[in-house]
Amino acid sequence: MKTYFHAKMLIQNAEAASEFFQAYDTDMEIYPGHSGKLHYQKKFFMLGKSFVSFTISHSGWGYKMRNETDGFLITIPHMGGVSWKTSLGKYKASAGSLAVSDMREISISTYAEGITYTTIYIDNSDFFKYLSALLGAPPKTRIHFDQPSAEVWKVSFIIGLSNTILGLENSNAPLERVASSLKESLIGFLIYNFKNNYSRVLHSVKGAAVPTPSQIRIAAEYMISNVEPDLTVVEVAIFSGISVRSLQTGFKRYKNMTPIQFLRSERLRKSREIILKGDALHTPREVACQVGFLNYYVFCQYYIQAFGEHPNVTFQKAKK
């Protein structure tokens, strides 16, 4: 069974809606909206146990949770609003705001008539995995988010990243690899930019152990030999046996740059070596893909910054 895939759906009765959610281990009692009708149109991308979606509901709708879902729901209304009830009280989110909710605490939720909204569900197992990589050890307690303020730039960033994930249906890139990398970026943004019980330790420089030069060498060699365009810092840290924070601290100390800057620098160096051979079978565009750049125009920008000339100029000189 595929765990990374995109789909679209239109549901117009409560029974079908219940069946849909049960298929993803979420048992809900569905309440129709305006005049007892239900219009629920959804575009979504499954990211393993997590997902991103964009929903339109002309009628509005609601639900009552019947089981415990172990994850977190990020809701961003674009039009209309949503309200929900937990053991701690009642909450509301209006158009342009963002709400982070622990699904284990939600009992009832109601979506207004004519609502459109972006939803991101991150399973707790994904947060656990990412926090383990950041901390260098399994987290001792479950992550808990404070109710965030609706800062416009944060909302815009998450919407943009969500739209990028949803837009992967038109991409020719390896679906699971790219989607997994984008999910990781989304989780990282949430952890670092929305106050939670790990914020203090993650933002503390003192908490990051400085790795040995040999560990940084292992990480560097892994990055140099890897041409996957969606290689992430988390993957490098896991391979090297250190936390993400330690990896970043070590590269700053021993390489005077971030891991991402090092990776980009090495890929640019490798691309120039290949282009300088003047092989007609390896055009600059082909070389960009060969060393791990999916976007040729971004590659050209970085190449010009690094070497002071366009890769096509280097290629023409090498041919002569």
Cα separation, 248 vs 258, in Å, equals: 6
pLDDT reported for residue 319: 83
Q: What angle do CA 198, 48, 208 make, to 5 degrees?
A: 25
- pLDDT tens track for 2-44: 789 999 999 999 999 999 999 888 899 999 998 899 999 999 9
The CATH number of 268-319, from 2.20.28, 1.10.10, 3.40.1130, 3.30.70, is 1.10.10
In the predicted model, residues of the chain with pLDDT beneath 50 are none
DSSP 206: G
Decide: 89 and 95 in contact? Cβ < 8 Å. Answer: no
Beta strands (DSSP E) in the chain are 4-11, 28-32, 40-47, 50-57, 61-65, 71-79, 82-86, 89-93, 99-102, 106-111, 115-123
Architecture per CATH, domain 204-256, reads as Orthogonal Bundle (1.10)
* Per-residue model confidence (pLDDT) at position 280: 65
> Is the domain defined by 4-182 classed in CATH 2.60.120.10?
yes
204-256 and 268-319 have identical folds:
yes
| Helices and strands per DSSP (H, E), number in the chain | 12, 11
Residue (of 186, 196, 38, 36) closest to 118 by Cα position? 186
Task: Report, in angstroms and rounded to the nearest whole number, the Rg of the chain calculated over CA atoms.
Answer: 23
The domains of the chain are located at 4-182, 204-256, 268-319
Question: Which pLDDT score is estimated for 1?
Answer: 55
